[in-house]
Amino acid sequence: MSGATLLYPDWPAPPRVRAAVTTRLGGVSQPPYDSLNLGGHVGDDPAAVASNRRRLGTLIPDLPAEPLWLNQVHGTRCLNADSAQAGTEADAAVTEKPGVVCAVLTADCLPVLLCDRAGSVVGVAHAGWRGLLAGVIESTVTAMHRPGAELLAWLGPAIGPAAFEVGEEVRAAFLVRDPRAATSFRAGAEGKWLCDLYALARQRLAALEVTAVSGGGSCTHEDVRRFYSFRRDGVTGRMASLIWLAPALQRV
């Protein structure tokens, strides 16, 4: 589901699991960051970024708190968001505490939202190709302390398989880890391969017995109006993927 400025995951999550993904629409940043840039590390005016972050409370009226903004490094570290400090170096976060908002920023990399069927734990991972290869999904699932079969996943907007060209070294690295990853690549220009991040994520999730996977249909590179894309634009903003458990006193 989507609105003018937000995407809402279409997945069978329990009612108390809340999630939203921002687009590039609805903020105050000037080009090339126009307009709802939430990334403070990309060269945008800090005042504009701060204003955009404040706008989240208006855009998402039931957002219970300031999101935990991470210092993302394309790694595998997953934090418990209950006690983590903003700006900590990590690429994923989980929480069992209502009212704590986990978040990652992306502009082509794949955001993976996770929850359990009981609605007792949520998490989010920043999964570009480096993070996928290194195991960020695995570290996030491990941190949730639930069997994979009890988890649901939703794959957010990312660069699609028709646009994400990589070198042979990237394909080779995935095949060393799992030969079945070959099905996620198809030949592109000479010496290049088109990489399907969505398919790679689904493979990793399936290996963890997470088979209830939704999403995976929005290409950031193709949709210039709604999405930032680093591969397309170079200097650009960042979108946020947010997930939290509704506070106990909040009507669901």
| pLDDT tens digit sequence for 120-131 | 999 999 999 999
| 143 in a structural domain | yes
**pLDDT at residue 189, rounded to an integer:** 87
Q: State pLDDT tens for residues 91-109.
A: 999 999 999 999 999 999 9
Total domains present in the chain = 1
**pLDDT at residue 252, rounded to an integer:** 47
Domain that holds residue 115: 6-158+209-245
- Running DSSP on this structure, what letter comes out for residue 174? H
| 192 in a structural domain | no
The number of helices, as runs of H, and strands, as runs of E, in the chain is 6, 13
**pLDDT at residue 165, rounded to an integer:** 97
| 230 in a structural domain | yes
Check if the beta carbon of residue 212 is closer than 8 Å to that of residue 154: no
Domain at 79, CATH number? 3.60.140.10
Q: pTM of the prediction?
A: 0.95
| 134 in a structural domain | yes
131: its two tokens: 């993070």
Q: State pLDDT tens for residues 202-238.
A: 999 999 999 999 999 899 999 999 999 999 999 999 9
| 10 in a structural domain | yes
Q: How far is CA 234 from CA 12, 30, 73, 76, in A?
A: 35, 15, 17, 24
Q: How far is CA 187 from CA 108, 196, 198, 200, in A?
A: 20, 12, 17, 16
| 23 in a structural domain | yes
| 229 in a structural domain | yes
| 184 in a structural domain | no
Provide the Cα torsion 208, 118, 247, 27; round to 10°: 50
Q: State pLDDT tens for residues 129-139.
A: 999 999 999 99
